Amino acid sequence: MTIKRVGVVGSGIMGSGIAEVAGKAGFEVILRSRAQATADAMVASLEKSLGRQVDKGKLDATERDAVLGRVRAVSDLGELTECDLVIESIVEDLATKKHLFNELDRIVQDGAILATNTSTLPVVEMAMETGRPQLVCGVHFFNPAPMMPLVEIVRAITTSDETADAARAFAETCGKTPVLVKDQAGFIVNALLFPYLNNAVKLLDAGVATREDIDAAMKGGCNFPMGPLELLDLVGLDTSLSILEALYAEFKDPNYAAAPLLRRMVSAELFGRKTSRGFYDYHKK
Ligand SMILES: NC(=O)c1ccc[n+]([C@@H]2O[C@H](COP(=O)([O-])OP(=O)(O)OC[C@H]3O[C@@H](n4cnc5c(N)ncnc54)[C@H](O)[C@@H]3O)[C@@H](O)[C@H]2O)c1
């Protein structure tokens, strides 16, 4: 399986980061957003991000131009036909993802790998929407994708050895450290991380400490680079709630039952950095 052309579907926090990583690794990237304006805006923000790296001396200008030459933004899913690997990174909702896999299976050439960047959802259910379940796996990047070294390669019960090997090789070419994990909700990182994040919201809600002190405690006491409430704002509270719901649905463990405050904040559309308000306020002062 030779991967040259990579499709990325979804223009949120993760889709744009994955496109940057794959473009920098030398892959031809087709980035698909439902609206051409959003797709173009992502390329503009990629240009900005690469520009900052040039200014800091981390990337040379020729390389920046080469990366931009390799990334193309489209709105038509049909443009993904000739991809060798498509990674979907749309909203964390199983029905929406299943529908997309069904469409991708009809559009993307035979033999291509269809991958999901889901944080928790069952990969096998997406695989079974296609006529090529052996070619479907999870390729789970972390946020922000250009900086975080880990990629979880999620092997569904239907995934072939060749597909898992090709996905692992792709992650390595992207300069990442892949780990292989079974298709079980939360995989490794989120299964361990989310009870902790969820319990931080419960502590805040119980008035045990302020948001600043909860975050300061975990940074200062455990040497974590970010506090749990800051991290939830980065991940997105809507995505975090979906992750907890998928974990709870799988294990029925009360540690995964979403904190009521988290649910209320999502209802109020306080999604974190992406809406400029979550546990903290990110509006420009
Ligand atoms: N945020 C994180 O920290 C993180 C980390 C790793 C993986 N993920 C996973 O990546 C995926 C995307 O998350 P994100 O944080 O980028 O979310 P996001 O909210 O930033 O972006 C979601 C994108 O999905 C698009 N979308 C919504 N409904 C759609 C539909 N019906 N069809 C096509 N596109 C649709 C939205 O327009 C948006 O561009 C999710 O599966 C999430 O679990 C997120």
Three-class DSSP labels, the chain: CCCCEEEEECCCHHHHHHHHHHHHCCCEEEEECCCHHHHHHHHHHHHHHHHHHHHCCCCCHHHHHHHHHHEEEECCHHHHCCCCEEEECCCCCHHHHHHHHHHHHHHCCCCCEEEECCCCCCHHHHHCCCCCHHHEEEEEECCCCCCCCEEEEEECCCCCHHHHHHHHHHHHHCCCEEEEEECCCCCCHHHHHHHHHHHHHHHHHCCCCCHHHHHHHHHHHHCCCCCHHHHHHHHCHHHHHHHHHHHHHHHCCHHHCCCHHHHHHHHCCCCEHHHCECCCECCCC
Atom of ligand 1 nearest to the CA of 234: 3
Radius of gyration of the CA atoms of the chain, in A: 19
Angstrom distance (rounded) from CA 261 to CA 66:
46
pLDDT attached to residue 1: 77
Mutate to test the pocket of ligand 1, among 8, 9, 11, 14 (most ligand atoms within 8 A of CB): 14
pLDDT attached to residue 140: 98
**β-pair type (71-74, 28-32):** parallel
Whole-angstrom CA distances from 216 to 131, 193, 234 are 49, 18, 16
pLDDT attached to residue 285: 63
223 in active site: no
Identify the residue whose C-alpha is closest to ligand 1 atom 27. 91
Whole-angstrom CA distances from 260 to 15, 43, 265 are 29, 37, 9
pLDDT attached to residue 63: 94
Q: Is the CB of 226 under 6 A from ligand 1?
A: no
pLDDT attached to residue 247: 97
Q: Is the CB of 274 under 6 A from ligand 1?
A: yes
Angle at the Cα of 229 from the Cα atoms of 226 and 233, rounded to 5 degrees? 90
128: its two tokens: 């079974």
190 in active site: yes
pLDDT attached to residue 284: 80
Q: Nearest 5°: phi and psi at 32?
A: -110, 125
Angstrom distance (rounded) from CA 22 to CA 6:
8
Atom of ligand 1 nearest to the CA of 93: 41
User: Under a CB-based contact definition with an 8 Å cutoff, are residues 195 and 201 in contact?
Assistant: no
Q: What is the pLDDT along the chain (285 residues), one digit of tens a residue?
A: 799 999 999 988 899 999 999 999 999 999 999 999 998 898 998 999 999 999 999 999 999 999 999 999 999 999 999 999 999 999 999 999 999 999 999 999 999 999 999 999 999 999 999 999 999 999 999 999 999 999 999 999 999 999 999 999 999 999 999 999 999 999 999 999 999 999 999 999 999 999 999 999 999 999 999 999 999 999 999 999 999 999 999 999 999 999 999 999 999 999 999 999 999 999 986
198 in active site: no
- State in Å: Cα 75 to ligand 1 middle: 16
Q: Is the CB of 75 under 6 A from ligand 1?
A: no
pLDDT attached to residue 120: 96
